[in-house]
Amino acid sequence: MVMVSTKMSKFSSSLSFFLLLLTILSFSTPKSNAISSIDSLQSECLTVPASEFVGSLRDTIDTIQKVTSVVSNVGNFLGNFRLTNAINDCLDLLDFSADVLDWSLSASKPNTKGKDNSTGDLGSDLKTWISAALANQETCIDGFEGTNSNVKTLVAGSLGQITSLVQDLLTMVHTPPKPNSIGRAKTEHKFPSWFKYQDQKLLQVKGNITADAIVAKDGTGNYTKIEDAIAAAPDNSLRRFVIYVKRGVYKEYVEIKKNKWNVVMIGDGMDVTVITGNRSVIDNYTTFRSATFAVSGRGFIARDITFENTAGPQKHQAVALRSDSDLSVFYRCAIKGYQDTLYTHTMRQFYRECRIFGTVDFIFGDATAVFQNCQILAKTGLPNQKNTITAHGRKDPNEPTGFSFQFCNFTGDSDLLPFKNSTETYLGRPWKLYSRTVILQSYMSDVIRPRGWLEWNETFALDTLYYGEFGNYGPGSGPGRRVNWPGYHAFNDSAQASNYTVTQAERQQKFRKRVAIAVVSSLVLLLLVAAGVFAIVYNNKSNHSSEKAAPQAQAQKQPPTKEISHVEKVIKAVCNGTSYKDICHSTLEKAATKNPSLAQPKEILKSIIAATDDEVENAFSKASAFKFDKPEEKAAFEDCKKLIDDANEELKSSLAHADGDIKKLNTKAPDLKNWLSAVMSYQQTCIDGFPEGKMKSDMQQAFNATKKLTSNSLAMVTEFSSVLSSFLEGTTRHLLEDESSTPSIAVDGLPKWMSNEDRRVLKGADTEKPTPNVTVAKDGSGNFPTISAALAAMPAKYTGRYVIYVKQGVYDETVTVDKKKENVTMYGDGSQKTIVTGSKNFVDGVRTFQTATFVALGEGFLAKAMGFRNTAGPEKHQAVAVRVQADRSIFLNCRFEGYQDTLYVQTHRQFYRSCVISGTVDFIFGDAAAIFQNCLIIVRKPLENQKNIVTAQGRIDKFESTGIVLQNCKIQPDDALVPAKTTIKSYLGRPWKEYSRTIIMESTIDDLIHPDGFLPWEGDFALKTLYYAEFNNKGLGAKTTARVKWPGYKVIDKQEALKYTVGTFLQGDWISATGSPVKVGLFT
């Protein structure tokens, strides 16, 4: 309860801020700005302008048509039955993808009804249809498993274009909002809201029914074959076409194609009307084509029928029923088979009172499917084979798909029960990276193993899947014994569980209708705008609609006094949240004279960032006029030139991101805060490079205004996004979309998907050698003898990953991966075999910034199995082994060796996994947002009378998004320190800058660490403003009872610790997307 009230308090505070703006502004809605219902619907559904979305849809459809031609030509040269099946699948799937995107195109245009495909919930419709198009490409490729690899490669290359475009389309559609859930999870048994009342009556009617066609094996109907009856159904019909299938076993392969809409098929009972077949993968059919019964036409309904595949377990994949039918319902049906029995391929599907039988992955696919009151019956499979009930195939985090089971019965069929102890049966396993399955209020017999769920392949998808359970019972419900995966959730709150019920979907639909209706009311619209969307609009014209218009020339001369007055009030409200209010007021008031529309938050943000950019150039111009007499001052100013260039570049990136729809700020905020934090760091690094004295003070003064403006820019991004985030947190979760205890990763914050080769580099063992672009070898066996030469040869423009393999050897060189060299992957033969070494240091007259042996500046840098050293020794003081400025950089299985200032995590987002870092004083320091996971931190022996300090984080401003996090690491002494560890004091960190932030959690801390834990920098500097925290550490040095009593030191709880996990602190999907091993949440 405390946690909830805290969250509400934050929300109320943020909401009050914008309601204040609403109060002090006089709003009106001019007729020229009236929003039509279709415009408001598009505005709510899309993250981009409708014209951009429509253009992207057209481009994607055009690409599909081109790829279809390529795939069709491939098929003309094949005589292989298996390959021909795979090609035919692809052609059908491509055709269906073009159709569903055409539905999306039609639904997105004004004054259309989406060819009557829409449910009235356009956001959900678009997400569903586009997700289906994504799944179709994946199914096409899957069909080539075990066939000619050249053909698969050719087809996959063509389909890759479509996949990328479709994934982009998914990011352009908002996730549907969810109103607050209240009360317990609903226990009534309901159909989906899109399932019309007259259709429900059709399912529940007893006795004779009026059919459009009757199928009977004995000739007493219109047809003897189901296929013939389906052929008689009209194309694209909006009316129900009812087919009554009399009792009998129908040995035929039935396909209801995409143009056969609203077909209803009713049998005499699931035990007596049976459609059966025996196609299988072993018999050279694709899984997709093996289905006995396949339906693609939208709105399909089935009642009282059995769909069966009798191929048996020895034939492996053999589908009984495959459905791509959007808004389809299966009622009182049996679906029988072994492996891959029910293929819920795509779209929205509902199963009620059905029986589903199988062994391996027998409910699988990438649909949004709800199973209610169903019996799930595991069977006996092949010897030593494990049973897995579900294998959901969600590929992309933006897909709305998943499985939900409610009020179901999970048990074994009669053939399994005698062998239930020897046959392992699990609820599911992750077929694709973002697999999602939730089981609610269901009975589980002892057939289900206590751990519940099974891995697909080692750790694949365990961080990214979403498996949830709530209110289940029975001996197989395994309370307290389930898997301990990051993606597994045991719901404690019925409100959480209700998000995955049919009732919740219905609530969402009603909520969206209410929002659409509310658009008509300007008052409600304005309240929504003020509370959550920040589109604070002022238009003074309508207030004077009854007044006589003044002459144009006079209007131009007279300032709009009322508008300026309102703008002034907005400026005052906005600046109250900043640290430097005076410069905030003066900057925005000056901007307001040039831009009367400054009352809009987007314009405010743009103005403050633009002013910062201008001031950086102004400050540098002032500094350039200074007379630098000493060599060290001249050298420091040369560093400043580079740093200020970087600052200008990142301010322009920030400005470009601020110039967009303010409603997207919540997704853009991590990038904006990342770049603006880097700008703050660049300025400070410039100043820090000067020796103490007058020149350093002059430089500090020159950049004083810049520092304040950067801080204010960060404050505004933080405040605006915080309000939007709080509002969305209460209103925008939707069916099967609540994935973890950490926030969803913003689409705009994700990197491009990396190649399979690059994923293999990161996931594989050190011995794996992917094909590099170039090889570096000291013995001359590679393309280059030095790493620098290899980097210099990299093309100026290169698409994708540029891979450099550095063979075993000690490379005594200073290496810089400059900013233009993005997406470089560098891997060696091992962190103690491939070593880059140097010895630059502060005592020899080199500034700390320039002492680094290896410097990574280019975004997306990846290093694996490399060693980096600075051998200057402790007596040479600051001597950096590696300096990292590269955003979204990853170091895996690397080693950093030095003494003072070993690893300079200078700026941006950085991730270190399974690395070794050794040193003495401040040997992990800088102002990046850096997480170290599963790393070994080795504290070495320092100079006499010197203390050891592991971290020195350099956060300058309280609004920066930076900090150092050590998670699941081990902090231990070097062998040389062990004998002296009781006399040499060692600490976890000290505050280099005023808002220093360091979190150490779930780590093992040896007894070398002093009981105080942390050390002051000087006097009481930063002790009130720093943020040092510990959570769930262990070891002799982990006791917190004797820790420092500073105001800024905290022992935090789990909820607070979650803020500093990879998913939240680094917006870490860019890490998991590379295939790098990563824990997105907490380990405990």
List active site positions: 361, 922
- In this structure, are residues 186 and 216 in contact, taking their beta carbons and an 8 Å threshold? no
Contact, 1035 vs 1004, CB < 8 A? yes
Under DSSP, the state recorded for 532 is I
3-state class of 1072 per DSSP?
helix
Encoded amino acid at 737, one letter: E
CA distances from 4 to 9, 469, 499, 1053 (A): 9, 22, 18, 15
| Cα gap 368→298, rounded to integer Å | 14
797 Cβ contact list (under 8 Å, min separation 6): none
Tell me which residue of 296, 293, 325 sits closest to 308, measured CA to CA: 293
Q: Which of 470, 350, 472 is nearest to 411 (CA)?
A: 472
Q: How far apart are CA 940 and CA 976, in angstroms?
A: 7
CA distance linking residue 438 with residue 499, whole number of Å: 10
Residues 101 and 134 sit within 8 Å (Cβ to Cβ): no
- Convert 686-701 to b/e letters by CB count within 10 Å (16 or more is b): bbbbbeeeebbeebbe
**Structure token pair of residue 561:** 């006094």
Q: How far apart are CA 474 and CA 756, in angstroms?
A: 43
In the structure encoding, which two tokens stand for residue 297, read together? 């036409």
Residue pair 577/716 in contact (Cβ under 8 Å)? The answer is yes
The Cα–Cα gap between 601 and 659 comes to 10
Question: Are the C-beta atoms of 301 and 328 separated by less than 8 Å?
Answer: yes
CB 1008 within 8 Å of CB 1038: no
d(CA 339, CA 360) in angstroms, rounded, equals: 5
Sole residue written with tokens 């690059």 = 758
In 914-977, where do the E strands start and end? 916-919, 921-926, 929-933, 936-939, 948-953, 963-967, 970-973
Residue 943 and residue 875: Cα distance in Å, rounded? 7
Judge whether 651 and 613 are in contact, CB under 8 Å: yes
Helix, strand or coil, per DSSP, at residue 579: coil
The closest alpha carbon to 335, from 387, 293, 285, 288, belongs to: 293
CA angle 1077, 1079, 1081 (to 5 degrees): 165
C-beta separation of 389 from 396 below 8 A: no
Q: In this structure, what DSSP letter does residue 529 have? A: I
CB 397 within 8 A of CB 434: yes
SS3 state of residue 296: coil
Do the Cβ atoms of 347 and 136 come closer than 8 Å? Answer: no
Question: Nearest CA to 273 among 297, 254, 299?
Answer: 254
